[in-house]
Chain A
Amino acid sequence: MPADYGFFLLLLCFISSIYGTAAAWGAGWFRSRRLYYSAKVAAISSGLLAWVAAVLLWAMLFARDYSDAYIFKNSSNDLPLFYTFTAFWSALEGSHFLWALLLASFSAVAHVVSARDNEHLMPYVSTALQAIAAWMFFLAVTASNPFGLQFPFAANGLGMNVLLQNPYMAFHPPSLFIGYTALAIPFAYAVAALCYGDITQGWIKTVRRWALFAWSFLTLGIFLGGRWAYVVLGWSGYWAWDPVENSSLVPWLFATALLHSLLVQERLGQLKRWSLINAFLAFFFSFFGTFITRSGIIGSVHAFAQSAVGSYYLGFLAVLVGVALVIYHLRSPSILPGEKAKVWGFTKESFLLLAQFLLLTFAAIIFIGTVYPIVSEAVTGVRFNIQAPYFNSFAPYLGLSFILALTIGNMLRYRSGALEGGWTLLLGAVVGALPLFGLLMWWGEIWRSTGFALWMQAIGTYLCAWSLLWMSMGQWRKLRAYPAGVVAYCRSHLRSLGAFIAHLGVVIAIFGFLGNYRGLDATVSLKKGEKTELFGFELESQGMQLGQRDNVELFKAPFIVRRNNQEIGVIAPARTKYPTHQELLHEVGLLSSLWHDLYLVLADFDLQGSEVVTVQIHVNPTVRIVWLSAFFMVGGGLVSLAGTFVGRRLTSRQRRLPRQRLQKEGA
C-alpha cells in the first residue's frame, strides 16, 4: 500500500533526524569535522525523504486513494483539482506534516547555504535544528500520522471542510508555516551562539536573512488569513482577536523585534542577549499557538479536533523552555557587550530600543489576554472571556506610539541627534501634513465619527499623514543627495529602501485600521424591484437567482448599486449549499473601492411570491487600504532580503565625487 511507504519514509526521516542530532552534538563536543559532515548528510537526507513522502501523499490525493485515513476524511471525488492539492494541509495531520516538511527543507538549506560563514557554529546549529525536526517527525509517526490506514476501504471520501474551499484559505497555511519554520533557524543560531560562547562574524548576516524571509511570509500569511475571514465568515470584520489569530501575531512581533535588535547589535554591539531572547521567543510562540489550537484548551475558530497531540505539545514546550533557560543561564555571561560606550541619547539606537519595548509590550498584552481565560479558571473557578473589547482598549494607544516611534526613529541618524533634513524638513512635514490630513479625513469619512473616537481617529490620521510625508521627503532627499546617482543608491542601499517601504506599509496599515468599523450598517428586507438607500449607496433588489458552480448550489440575490444616480456595479450576496454540508453557508457580496467597501450579507430569502430578501448592509471604510499596506510590508521585507545579498558598497571615493565626474573617468 502506498500509505505504508509514506509511513516508512517518515520513520526514516525521524531516525535520520535523531542520528543527525546525536552526530551534530558529537561534532560540537569533540570538535570533529567528520561527525559534522555526517550530521549534515543526515539533515539533507531528512529533507529529501520528507519531500518524497510529500509527493507520495499528493499522488495518493490526486489518485483519490481512500485507503489512507487522512485522505478519506479530507477529500472526495467531486473535490476540484486545486482543492485536492491543498487538501494536503487542510486538517491536523496534513498541516503538521507540511510544517515538518518545511522545517526539514529549511534545515537542509541552512546546512548548505550559510555554512561557510559560520563554520564554528554549524555543529550547534545542526543539533538544534535536527532536534526540532526529530520532534516533528516523531509526532508525524505517532499521534499525527497522515499515512494511517482506513479500513474498510471506501469508494468516496468525506470531503473537505467547506470553509477551506477558498483561494485565500489555500495559501494562508503554507505562507504562515514558511514563516514559522524559517524562524527555527534564528533560534538555532541563537542556541549555537550561546553554546559556542560567542557571536561570530557571519552570525548577524545569516540570522538577518532568515528573519527577513520568515517575517515577509508571516506578514503575508497573517493578511491572507484576515482577508479570508473578511470575505468568507460574513461578520464584516477581518480580525477578531481570536486566540489563534493572536498566536500568529505574537511570533510576528518577536520577529520584528529581532530585526530591530540586530540593527543595534550591528552598530553598537549592544542588545546581543536581547537578540538571542527575541529569536528564542519568536520560535517558542510559533509552537505555542499550535499548542493552543490542537489541544482545545482555549476555544477558537481554528481549533482542530482535540487530540492527544495537545499533551505532546505541552511536553515539548516545557522541555524547550527548560533547555533554553539552562543554556541561557550557563552560557549568556560569555556573550559580552561591544566595546563602544553606550550611546543612548536622542539617537536612532535609542528609538530602536523604544521599538523593542513597544513590540514586546504589545506581545505581552496579547499573550496575557489570550491565556487569561485559563488563568481565571484556575484561580477563581470561573472561566472569563477576553475578546476583542479588551485588546481594542489597548491597541489604539500602542498604534499611535508605534507611529511616533517609527517615524522619529527613521528620521534620526545613528549616533547623533541629527534629524534627516533638519528642523526645516520636519516643519515642512508638519505643515504639509495638514492638507493631506484633511483629504484623508474627507475620503475616509472619518469626520462622521463622534466623541472620543473622533478625537483618537483624527489624531491618528494626522500622525499617519505627517509620518508618510516626512519619511518620504527624507528618503527623497537621501536619494537626490547621493553623488553616484539614484540607481547606484538603490543598488547599495536596498536594505534601507526595503525598510522604508515596509515602514510606509505599517503606517498605511495603521491608518487603515483606525478608519474601520464605525458601525455603518443596517438590516433591510426588500421585495424584488424595491430600493433602499444607505450612506449614499442606493441598492435595488433584483429578486433571487439560482446557480451552480462545480459541486455547489448557489442562491444569489443580485443588487444594482448606484451612487449619485449612476450605476456603479452589481453585487450578489449568496447562500451556498455544499453537498457535504447541511446548513447553507455565506458568500459575501462585496463592492470595494479604495475608500469604501460595500459589504452585503444575505440573511434570509424567500423564493416564492415577491422574492423578499433580507440583507445586512455594511459600509466599511478604508478596508482596502489595509490590504494595500500588505503589499508594502511584504514587498519591503523581500526588497530588504534582496539587499542582504547585494552587498556591494561603494568606495569612499565613489561616495564623495559627483556622478558626472565619475562617469567622465569611466568609473
Chain B
Amino acid sequence: MKTIHYASLVHILVLLMALCMPALVHGSASIQSFNREFQSLPSEQQEKIKDISRQLRCPTCTGLSILESDAPFSLQMRSAVLAQVKEGKSSDAILTFFTERYGMWILREPPRSGFHMLAWLLPCLLLILGPLVLLYLRYVRPQGSTEPSLQLRSRSAIVAELQDNVRKLRQHVRSH
C-alpha cells in the first residue's frame, strides 16, 4: 500500500491519472451494467450507495472518492457496495467490510475517536478559543505604551513636544 503514496515516475503518475478516468474497456461495459443495476434500485438504496461511496477513497487516484472516480478499481468497489446494499447490510457493516480488507487507509477521513480526535478537535478549539484569546488580550491585559517612543510620530506631535521642552527649559532657567 505504501508504494501507492510515493510516485516513482512522472509517467506512472500520468498513468494513474488516466486510470482515474473511465478506462476504455471494450465489451465488458461495466460502467453501463453498473449503471443499469443502479437505476433499477429504489431511491433510498441509491442514496445509501452514494453515501457510502462518498466515504471510501479511490485507491488508485489521489483525492477522489469511489463515487467521483471511474477507475476500474473504483468501479469494482462500487459494485461491491451495491451488492451489499442490495443484501440489506448496514452502512457501518459495509464500511467495516472495506476497512478490514484494505485497512483504515481506505477511508477519506480519520475516525472521530482516540488519537484522531485531535484532527477534529484542534480546528474547533482554534475557532472557539481564538476570539476568546483576542478578547482576553483586549480587556484583561491592556497593552500599549502611551509614552512617546522613538518611533515615527506626526509632525504636530514632534512640534508639540519640542514646544513643551522649550517651555520646561525656560521655566528651569527662570527658576535658577
CA distance A451 to B57 in the complex (A): 25
A109 interface residue per 8 A CB criterion: no
B164 interface residue per 8 A CB criterion: no
Closest to A380 in B: B115
B144 interface residue per 8 A CB criterion: yes
Is B63 within 8 A of A382, CB to CB? no
Is B104 within 8 A of A361, CB to CB? no
B54 interface residue per 8 A CB criterion: yes
CA distance A384 to B54 in the complex (A): 16
Question: Which B residues are in CB contact (< 8 Å) with A353?
Answer: 134
B119 interface neighbour in A361, A369, A523, Cβ under 8 Å? A369
CB distance from A314 to the nearest CB of B (A): 15
A379/B10 contact (C-beta < 8 A), A385-B57, A524-B35 known: no
Question: Which A residues are in CB contact (< 8 Å) with B10?
Answer: 91, 161, 304-305
B145 interface residue per 8 A CB criterion: yes
Is A614 within 8 A of B57, CB to CB? no
A583/B23 contact (C-beta < 8 A), A342-B142, A361-B130 known: yes
In the complex, per-residue mask of A92-117: 1 if CB is within 8 Å of any chain B CB, else 0: 00000000000000000000000000
A306 interface residue per 8 A CB criterion: yes
In the complex, per-residue mask of A224-242: 1 if CB is within 8 Å of any chain B CB, else 0: 0000000001111100111
Number of interface residues of B (CB under 8 A): 67
CB distance from A73 to the nearest CB of B (A): 8
CB distance from B148 to the nearest CB of A (A): 5
CB distance from B147 to the nearest CB of A (A): 8
A523/B35 contact (C-beta < 8 A), A241-B63, A376-B116, A386-B110 known: yes
Question: Which A residues are in CB contact (< 8 Å) with B143?
Answer: 337, 342
CB distance from A520 to the nearest CB of B (A): 12
B68 interface neighbour in A235, A583, A584, A585, Cβ under 8 Å? A235
Closest to B131 in A: A357
Is B104 within 8 A of A357, CB to CB? no
Is B4 within 8 A of A299, CB to CB? yes
Most buried by B among A201, A236, A240: A240
CA distance A336 to B105 in the complex (A): 49
Is A341 within 8 A of B144, CB to CB? yes
Closest to B144 in A: A342
CA distance A240 to B127 in the complex (A): 23
B159 interface residue per 8 A CB criterion: no
CA distance A372 to B127 in the complex (A): 18
Closest to A298 in B: B5
Q: Is chain A's interface secondary structure helix, strand, loop, or mixed overall?
A: loop
Closest to A91 in B: B10
Is A339 within 8 A of B20, CB to CB? no
Question: Which B residues are in CB contact (< 8 Å) with A601?
Answer: 21-22
Is A341 within 8 A of B21, CB to CB? no
- Give the residues from 481 to 539 in chain A that come closer than 8 angstroms, CB to CB, to chain B: 519, 523-525
A376/B126 contact (C-beta < 8 A), A336-B145, A336-B149, A342-B143 known: no
Is A386 within 8 A of B119, CB to CB? yes
A523 interface neighbour in B13, B31, B54, B68, Cβ under 8 Å? B31
CA distance A357 to B65 in the complex (A): 32
Is B151 within 8 A of A300, CB to CB? no
CA distance A379 to B19 in the complex (A): 32
Stretch at the interface among A185-193, A387-395, A559-567, A628-636: A387-395
Question: Which A residues are in CB contact (< 8 Å) with B17?
Answer: 163, 233, 301
B8 interface residue per 8 A CB criterion: yes
- Give the residues from 543 to 596 in chain A that come closer than 8 angstroms, CB to CB, to chain B: 575, 581-586
Most buried by B among A337, A583, A585, A602: A583
Question: Which A residues are in CB contact (< 8 Å) with B126?
Answer: 361, 364-365
Closest to B138 in A: A344
CB distance from A484 to the nearest CB of B (A): 24
Is B103 within 8 A of A382, CB to CB? yes
Is A387 within 8 A of B105, CB to CB? no
CA distance A357 to B104 in the complex (A): 34
Is A388 within 8 A of B63, CB to CB? yes
Closest to B47 in A: A519
Is A237 within 8 A of B68, CB to CB? yes
In the complex, per-residue mask of A330-353: 1 if CB is within 8 Å of any chain B CB, else 0: 000000111111101000000001
A389/B109 contact (C-beta < 8 A), A161-B10, A242-B63 known: yes
CB distance from A317 to the nearest CB of B (A): 20
B50 interface neighbour in A162, A376, A398, A519, Cβ under 8 Å? A519
Is B8 within 8 A of A306, CB to CB? yes
- Give the residues from 107 to 140 in chain B that come closer than 8 angstroms, CB to CB, to chain A: 107-110, 115-116, 119, 122-123, 126-127, 130-131, 134, 138
Is A387 within 8 A of B57, CB to CB? yes
B109 interface neighbour in A162, A357, A386, Cβ under 8 Å? A386
CB distance from B25 to the nearest CB of A (A): 7
CA distance A389 to B115 in the complex (A): 19
A327 interface residue per 8 A CB criterion: no
Question: Which B residues are in CB contact (< 8 Å) with A386?
Answer: 108-110, 119
- Some 14 contacts from A to B, beta carbons below 8 A apart, are A233-B20, A269-B152, A339-B148, A344-B138, A354-B131, A357-B130, A383-B5, A384-B116, A387-B109, A389-B108, A525-B32, A603-B22, A603-B31, A616-B70
The 10 closest A-B pairs by CB, nearest first: A583-B18, A603-B22, A240-B63, A299-B5, A384-B110, A387-B108, A365-B123, A342-B144, A303-B7, A523-B35
